Structure 1
Amino acid sequence: MAEVKTYHAEVTRDGKFWLIRIPEIGRSTQALHYRDVSTMASELIEIMEGVGGDDYDLHLKVNLPSSVEDHLARAEVLREEAIRKNAEAALESRAAVRELLAEGLSQREAGEVLGLSFQRVNQLANS
C-alpha cells in the first residue's frame, strides 16, 4: 500500500476571512467561515495536485493571536488546579464521613447531617 502524503494547512484570521496556506504546494486560498476551511484547503490540494480525498491527509494548524494563546494557557492551568482542588475536597468529605461514622452515626444519619444521600455516604465510607 502506498504511503499517504500529508499536507499542512496554516490557517490565520485576516479581517473577515480565514487565510489558508498550504506550504507543500506553495499555494493559498481563503474561506469566509471557519467551518469551510478544511473544504477549501482540500479543494486546493486536489485541484493543484490532482489527487482524491483518500489519497492524502490534511492537518490544520490555526495560528491564534498571542493574547488568545495566553488565555488558553491560563484556562489550562486553572483546569488543572480545579482537578487538584476537587481531589482535596473529596479527601475532606471522606474524612468527615469517616469521623461521623467513627462517632457511632449510621450512614443514613451521617448523610442527613451532611446533606448527602445514603449512597454518597456509602461511597465515601468505602473509598
Structure 2
Amino acid sequence: MKTYHAEVTRDGKFWLIRVREIDRSTQALRYRDVETMARELIEIMEGPGSGEYDLHLEVHLPSSVRDHQARAEVLRAEAQRKQAEAAAENRVAVQELLALGLSQRETGEVLGVSFQRVSQLAKTC
C-alpha cells in the first residue's frame, strides 16, 4: 500500500497542505478539514480510492509553540515524579500512625482521607 506524506503549515487564516509524492498543494480553512483536503487532492491527481493508500500528516508548528510543548512535557514529567514522592510520603505517614496504634479509621480522620484509602496505603507499605 502506498503512503503519501502531507506537510501541513499555518499561513494566515489557512492551513497549507503540500503532498510530497505528487508535488501538489491545497489548503483548508480549518484543521479538521486538512486530511479531507489532502485526500481529495491525492485522489484527483492520482486516482486511487480512499482505502487504497495511507496518508501521513506532518504538522509543522512554529518553533515557539514546539518550545512550549517541550516545556509542558518536562513539567508533566516533573509533576508525575512529585506525585509519586507525595504518595510515598503518604504511605510512610500512614505506616507511622498505624505503628503508634491508631486504627485505620482514626488514621484516616487525622490525615483527612477515608479509612479505605488508609487501607490501600497500608497494603502498599
TM-score, reference length from structure 2: 0.98
Q: Residue deviations 1:48-70, cap 9 Å, x none?
A: 00100000000101100000000
Correspondence for 2:123: 126
SS in 2 for 1:54: coil
> Unmatched 5+ residue regions in structure 2?
none
Shift of 1:39: 0.2
> Unmatched 5+ residue regions in structure 1?
none
Correspondence for 2:13: 16
What pairs up with 1:35-114 in 2 under 5 angstroms?
35-114=32-111
Aligned residues, how many?
124
Q: Residue deviations 1:62-103, cap 9 Å, x none?
A: 100000000000000000001100000000000000000000
**Within 2, Cα distance between the matches of 1:32 and 1:100?**
61
Shift of 1:116: 0.6
SS in 2 for 1:11: strand
Instruction: Among all aligned residue pairs of Structure 1 and Structure 2, give the percentage whose two residues are the same amino acid.
Output: 77
**Within 1, Cα distance between the matches of 2:78 and 2:34?**
34
Q: Give the aligned residue type for 1:96.
A: A
The answer to whether 1:30 aligns with 2:24 is no
SS in 1 for 2:102: coil
SS in 1 for 2:66: helix
Q: Give the aligned residue type for 1:5.
A: K
SS in 2 for 1:53: coil
**Within 1, Cα distance between the matches of 2:106 and 2:12?**
62
